[in-house]
Amino acid sequence: MIRHRLRALCAIIVTGALSTYALADEVHVAVAANFTAPMKAIAVEFEKDTGNTVVPAFGATGQLFAQINNGAPFEVFFSADDTTPTKLEQAGNTVAGSRFTYATGALVLWSAKSGYVDEQGAVLKQNAFNHLAMANPKAAPYGRAATETLGKLGLTDSLKGKIVEGQSITQALQFVSTGNAELGFVALSQVYKDGKITSGSAWLVPETYYQPIKQDALILKKGANNPAAKALTDYLQGPKAKAIIKSYGYKI
């Protein structure tokens, strides 16, 4: 009798595990480059908690937008702004009512060298560097924020010849981290973790210098019938994901 009950219990456990596995799915996600590190961390927890797998593609918001319009198989889109998702909604490429703001980003002037960038950003006006990196303002909202900052400081013309543009905020960071540019405008999330700058030196650009970087996400039409797409967007609005997002310097 005991052996029979044990067999029955094992059968229930195995059946339950198989059912959970069968229900698990994967979701293809287009993710703005500034959100690379948080998304990777969230994806790990999401898979642990739901069994679903995130298949991410990272890039500049403008580039991802073009790929989506050209039929790329993305099911969820995490943008670096709120205007690009609006365009997708207007074109009928999204699931109605799925859009939400998952984070508000911040811009920093960063150098891989300790002590190179002062806390007031005076290094910009001193103009003693050869190259200033930033993302392409036409493709990346953080690049646009950088150009707005230079305009606010009255440095657009004087620094024009020193600017090197990356196609995404990730490439801008690479220019600085490899020494090809002494300093550059990057996303706070790329150089910040758990309350401090992870390396080098930085100036946190005042929020009044650029338009708010409100980052919206939504489910695309290709993800309308994928439960994992809805599960991921719900997860991003939960406490565990929010804690991860905040740890990278974003505001919720």
Cα–Cα dist 161/164, whole Å: 9
Backbone dihedral angles phi then psi of residue 201, each to the nearest 5 degrees: -140, 155
For the domain covering 107-204, report its CATH number.
3.40.190.10
- pLDDT for res 2: 46
Please give the C-alpha separations between residue 160 and each of 97, 128, 134, 156, 163, in angstroms, as whole numbers: 42, 14, 12, 6, 6
Residue 23, pLDDT score = 56
What predicted TM-score, i.e. pTM, was given to this entire model?
Answer: 0.85
Rounded CA-CA distance 171/83 in Å is 22
CATH number belonging to the domain at 2-104+213-247, selected among 3.40.50.150, 3.40.190.10, 3.10.20.30, 3.90.25.10: 3.40.190.10
In this prediction, residue 21 carries a pLDDT of: 41
CATH 3.40.190.10 intervals, the chain: 2-104+213-247, 107-204
Mean pLDDT, contiguous 10-residue spans, the chain (252 residues):
46 41 79 97 98 97 96 97 96 96 98 96 96 96 97 97 96 97 98 95 98 97 98 98 97 92
